[in-house]
Structure 1
Amino acid sequence: MKSVVAFISIILFASQSFAASECAQLKAELKQMQTAQQQIMASLVNNHESFASSMEEYSSVVQTSQGSQIKGVAGEMKTSAQAFRTRGVQGKKIAKKLNDASTDLLARVASCLK
């Protein structure tokens, strides 16, 4: 009987250790998720600032340009627009990955708390 109680105690201890280890891993992943979100937000702010700076630059060039120069500026504007669209597509992909990882992580946290 003592050996059964000891065995059950060992199983319970191992189970608690595993749960603590699993929760520690979840905590680490939450910190990684927070870092990723901070990087995405910083990137969004930088993209907006870059876009605004580009538009200001193009606006001042157009105001002082002659006919042939405007065509060159228009071409640069189209190139910039495409670059911002590409950044947007990449941002959407990263945001989806983060959202999927967040959903998975939150589900595991919820099960850890049960």
Structure 2
Amino acid sequence: MHLLVETLKAIEIGRTVNALRKHNSNHIQKLVRALIKGWKVHLSAGVKRKMLEEVLDASKLEIAKWKLHEGYQRKQNAMKQQMIKTIDLHDILKDSHEKEGSKKKLG
């Protein structure tokens, strides 16, 4: 049977099966050991699958963070370029007015 860990815990079948490990019949003991071994293999595979899913989810999250950061960086660079253009235009106008004003004062 393929059971989830939560199911095994909820129905407490492990306690019943564990008690059968000490049964008088060797055949029953072997069946119980095989059942427990099968559960361990199944649960181990489930844990590995869950870990892989978590790694993949973490990778997807990191990629999303990187893309978001890259988008913010592009936006910030575009804003800086816009600011540089604005400052350059104002500086040019300011400088030309200052030069004209200083020429009038000297002349």
TM class, shorter-length: 0.5 to 0.7
Match of 1:31 in 2: 60
Which secondary structure does the structure 1 equivalent of 2:77 belong to? helix
Matched, 1:62 2:91: yes
Unpaired runs of 5+ in structure 1?
A: 68-114
Which secondary structure does the structure 2 equivalent of 1:35 belong to? helix
- Large movers: runs of 4+ above 3 Å: none
If you compute each CA radius of gyration, which structure gives the higher value, 1 or 2?
A: 2
Displacement, 1:11? Answer: 0.4
Query: What is the CA–CA distance in structure 1 between the aligned matches of 2:87 and 2:54, rounded to whole Å?
Result: 49
| Amino acid in structure 1 at the alignment position of 2:90 | V
Give the TM-score taking structure 1 as reference length.
Answer: 0.55
Displacement, 1:6? Answer: 1.1
Match of 1:19 in 2: 48
Match of 2:81 in 1: 52
Match of 2:69 in 1: 40
Unpaired runs of 5+ in structure 2?
A: 1-29, 99-107
Length, aligned pairs only: 67
Match of 2:9 in 1: none
Q: Which has the higher helix share?
A: 1
Query: What is the CA–CA distance in structure 2 between the aligned matches of 1:51 and 1:25, rounded to whole Å?
Result: 38
Give the TM-score taking structure 2 as reference length.
Answer: 0.59
Identity %: 3
Q: Answer 1 or 2: higher relative contact order, Cα 8 Å, separation at least 6.
A: 1
Query: What is the CA–CA distance in structure 2 between the aligned matches of 1:18 and 1:62, rounded to whole Å?
Result: 64
Query: What is the CA–CA distance in structure 1 between the aligned matches of 2:72 and 2:36, rounded to whole Å?
Result: 54
Displacement, 1:43? Answer: 1.2
